[in-house]
Chain A
Amino acid sequence: MSRFVELDDVDLMYGGPDGTLALRGASLGVAQGEFLAVVGPSGCGKSSLMKLVTGLHPPSRGSVRVAGNQVDGPVKIAGMAFQNPIMLPWRTTIDNILLPLEIVQPHRRHFRARRKENEAAAEALLATVGLGGFGRKYPWQLSGGMQQRASLCRALIHQPELLMLDEPFAALDAFTREELWSVLQDLWLEKRFTVILVTHDLREAVYLADRVLVMSSRPGRIVAERRIELERPRSLARTFDPDFVAIVHELRDHISAVRQGEVS
């Protein structure tokens, strides 16, 4: 299987020779169009992993490859969304979502000429996340959950091949969160981009992912892998079925084992 994203025995050290070792010997592969979830204890280097894959931070050792190329700078094909939606308050929601098109090629070249089409595309995307008609509002006129939906739209507007999500739903209430799981699953089933999702919520990981990786505590590396073979589309009701719950428990045991190791 060809690897779309590949980390090979990677170390990541912050701040000089006696700084923090965030990752040690981390290896992973993600196939094109695969939905990968990464779970692990707090501070184990999950966000650092995202920085490596997107080329925002170089590895201290080992190699990172994306789409067949060695990563030696920002990859330029990734859409990102974080726990905090970070919308620009002086731009309307639509203009926030269009921001990537003002930067990334080839959209950038045609941005002015295709203004109308772009806005239509953004409106359509807003409608799919349940924000139809809110494009002209400013982000501070939206609730936190609505801003997070908009930030998902911003991550997807330029149709990235790689979507990087760092705990995007962590700050939301349970209902909104589960609703956005469905939204994300639908988008993914439709477009089949490659996704790496970092999360603390094991149900979220099992519900969304094809494969879940468990990381050790810092310095982080991959200690367990679980393929999720549940049929798609998955319904929220499915998350209460015994086989689903069993997988969640299995992952929870892995995390506890990792955290035990941390204490002793």
Chain B
Amino acid sequence: MSRTERLAPWLFTVAFFVVWEIGVRVLDIGTYILPPPSLVFEQSWVFRQALFRNSMQTLYTTLAGFGIAVVFGLALGIFIGWSKTIYNGLYPVMIGFNSVPKVAVVPVLVLWFGIGTVPAILTAFLISFFPIVVNVATGLATLEPELEDVLRALGAKKMDIMLKVGIPRSLPYFFGSLKVAITLAFVGSVVSETVAANSGVGHLMLIAQANSEVPLVFGGLLCLAVLGIVMYAVFALLEQRFTGWAFRGQDRRAA
């Protein structure tokens, strides 16, 4: 990748803020509708402690929910992918569950666990769990039958086949799903915080909006954007690192 290509995302980000700033001033948009970025940054600095504390809370609920999702998702994914019969039986059920909007269960979670951290973690978990299960199960269940034959003709047990071939082969599916899952977990915890919590960036934005602190609302939004991008980047990097072989033929920057 050339220098300009590497710099391009940063240039576009800066350009985005410049256009925003100029646009707001030229069109004379009121700060209670769309504050200019300069004001957003200034107010964010003033409220930096609150923003930081609540960002950490959101990060915590997201990662906690995501962590549980990884553990359960892997376990259930391996179980479902273990045999074609289980896969064919449970896959449609999983897809069905997945099409239920998970955000709709927040009121139920509040009913059970009260307002606070637990519903946020559980929402993050529920929403990020399915992509992991589905990807791991698919990775395992789509093993080439000939390869399985080669190994079985040598007396390999199902366990051998899983350890030597199935699991390594489904790692790209797994890491691919982590990227998606972390983003979804983040959505889950922010939504839950916004409607049913007393801390977290979502909650902070709700309070700021009630007090007409519009620049702070946008400050919260910026924090979310930064958090989201960082988490995505971390998992995209992990994916590259652990499953580089699956990206063969593509531009291999690491090599």
B168 touches A54 (CB 8 A): no
Name B42-65 residues within 8 Å CB distance of A: none
Name A54's contact: one of B144, B153, B169, B249 (CB within 8 Å). B153
Q: Which residue of B lies closest to A166 (CB)?
A: B146
**A167 → chain B closest CB, angstroms:** 11
> With the chains together, A227 CA to B168 CA distance in Å?
46
| A74, B152: Cβ atoms closer than 8 Å | yes
Chain A interface size range:
20 to 34
With A88-B169, A90-B245, A99-B164 in contact, is A74–B150 under 8 Å at CB? no
Q: Give the chain A neighbours of B144 by CB distance below 8 A.
A: 84, 86
Taking CB atoms, residues of chain B closer than 8 Å to A189 are: none
Docked complex: A132-155 residues within 8 A CB-CB of B: 138, 140, 154-155
* Contact status B146-A54, CB under 8 Å: no
What is the CB-to-nearest-CB distance from A148 to chain B, in angstroms, rounded to a whole number?
A: 13
Q: Is B153 a contact partner of A74 (Cβ separation < 8 A)?
A: yes
Among A89, A90, A140, A158, find the residue whose CB has the most chain B CB atoms closer than 10 A: A90
B194 CB to closest chain A CB (Å) equals 42
Which of A56, A89, A102, A158 has a CB less than 8 Å from the CB of B152? A56
Docked Cα-Cα span, A102 to B146, in Å, equals 18
Interface centre among B149, B151, B153 (most CB of A within 10 A): B153
Contact A54–B246 (Cβ < 8 Å):
no
B173 → chain A closest CB, angstroms? 13
| A220 CB–B CB distance under 8 Å | no
Residue contacts A-B, CB under 8 angstroms, 30 given: A51-B149, A54-B149, A54-B153, A55-B153, A56-B149, A74-B152, A74-B153, A74-B155, A74-B156, A75-B155, A78-B153, A78-B154, A79-B153, A80-B153, A82-B150, A84-B144, A86-B144, A86-B147, A89-B245, A89-B248, A90-B168, A90-B243, A90-B245, A99-B151, A99-B164, A102-B164, A103-B160, A105-B155, A140-B245, A140-B248
B residues near A (Cβ < 8 Å) are 144, 146-147, 149-156, 160, 164-165, 168-169, 243, 245-246, 248-249
